[in-house]
Amino acid sequence: MKCQVCGNESGKYPLCRVCNLKKEQGEVIKCGKCGRWHYSYTLCELNRSSSDAANTAQPYLYDLKKTLISKTEQEYYKAIRASLPENYWAFPQVNLASFILRNDDTRYHNELFRNVDFLITDAEYRPKFIVEINDQTHLNFDRKERDEKVRKICEEAGIPIVFLWTSYGVNPEYIRKRFDEVIQSLPAKRIRHSTVEKHTQEWGTVSSSYPKERQPYVPRYKKRSSGGCYIATCVYGSYDCPEVWVLRRYRDYDLSATWWGKCFVKLYYLISPTAVRLFGKQRWFHKIFRPILNNFVKHLRSKGYDDTPYEDVEKSD
C-alpha cells in the first residue's frame, strides 16, 4: 500500500512510518470531508475543487461588450460608408467630448460624456456632421430629454445632426440624399443656447410676418416674463421647438393683453409645474395633452402665428 500523504511504501497501513510521526506532531491529519490523510496546511481535493469553482463563479467587475455597435447599426454603417463622398470617414460610437470643447473654466463637463452613433469627418479628421440612428425608444420622455441636450450642444458647436429612423429601414438612396444636403449646407450656422445674457425682444418691435390683428400688447412698464410652458415643454420634450415657440407667442401676444388671459397664465403657472412633476413621465399624460396641443398649435398657425425661434418678450403685471 502507498502512503496517502507522501506516496511511499506503507505496507498495510494508510501512512508510512515518517508520516505517522508527523501525524502525532499534528502535521498530518485525517480530513473529515474526503476521509483521507493529508498535511494540515493543504486543502483536500474536495475543498480545492470547490474553491476553484467559487473563483470561477465569482463575476468580474468588467467585461468586454460582444460588439461595438448593434446589428442594426452595422447595417446602417455599411450604407453610411457607401453613401459618403470620397475622403469622408465614419466613426461609430464617438463621445461628444472627443470633438466638442467647452469654453469655460468649469471643472466638470458631464454633459459632454454622451456618445453619438456616428461621427462623419473629412480626410483630415475634421468633424463635419453627426448621424444618429433612432428607434421607437427615442420617443420616450427620458430619451427625448437626452436627445434635446445633445441637439443644443451640437447646434451651439456648429455641427449638424442627420437623424435616420429605423422605422423607415436602411435606404441608401435616401441616406445619400440627406448627406449631400447637409454637406452642401456646411458650415452650419451656430445657435447660441448656453449664454447667460440673451438678446430679448423689445415690446415695440414686431416681426413683419406677424399678423396685424395679433400685434403684442405694449405695457407701460417692463418686467421679465415669468416661467416656461411647462406642460407643452414636457409633451414636446423641449422649451425651444416649433410647437412651443407658437404657444409662447400666443401667451405673450394674446393672453397677456387681456385680464382673463393674465389670470389664466397665473393659474397655469401655479398648477402646471406640480402636474408635470407628478405625472410628466406617465404615458397617459402625453396621450391626453399631445393631441390637444397639436390641434391648438395647428389652429394658431392658421391664424398667422410663427414657429421660428423665439425669445420670451417682457411683460408687466
* In 28-168, alpha helices (H): 45-57, 71-83, 141-157
| E strand or H helix that includes residue 233 | helix 230-236
Cα(first)–Cα(last) distance of the chain, in Å? 105
pLDDT digits (tens, 9 = 90+) for 102-136: 888 776 677 888 899 999 999 999 999 999 999 88
pLDDT digits (tens, 9 = 90+) for 59-107: 788 888 888 988 899 999 999 999 999 999 999 999 999 999 988 877 6
Residue 95, beta-bridge partner list: 115
pTM of the model: 0.47
Residue 119, beta-bridge partner list: 91, 130
What single letter denotes the amino acid at residue 127?
A: P
Question: CA 151, 126, 82 angle in degrees (round to 5)?
Answer: 85
Question: Residue 249: helix, strand or coil by DSSP?
Answer: helix
Q: Which three cell numbers stand for residue 203?
A: 415690446
- Predicted pLDDT of residue 255: 85
In the chain, how long is the greatest CA-to-CA distance?
A: 117
Question: Residue 29: helix, strand or coil by DSSP?
Answer: strand
| E strand or H helix that includes residue 264 | helix 259-279
pLDDT digits (tens, 9 = 90+) for 187-227: 999 998 875 443 333 333 334 444 444 444 443 333 334 44
pLDDT digits (tens, 9 = 90+) for 258-277: 888 888 888 888 888 888 88
**DSSP class of 25:** T
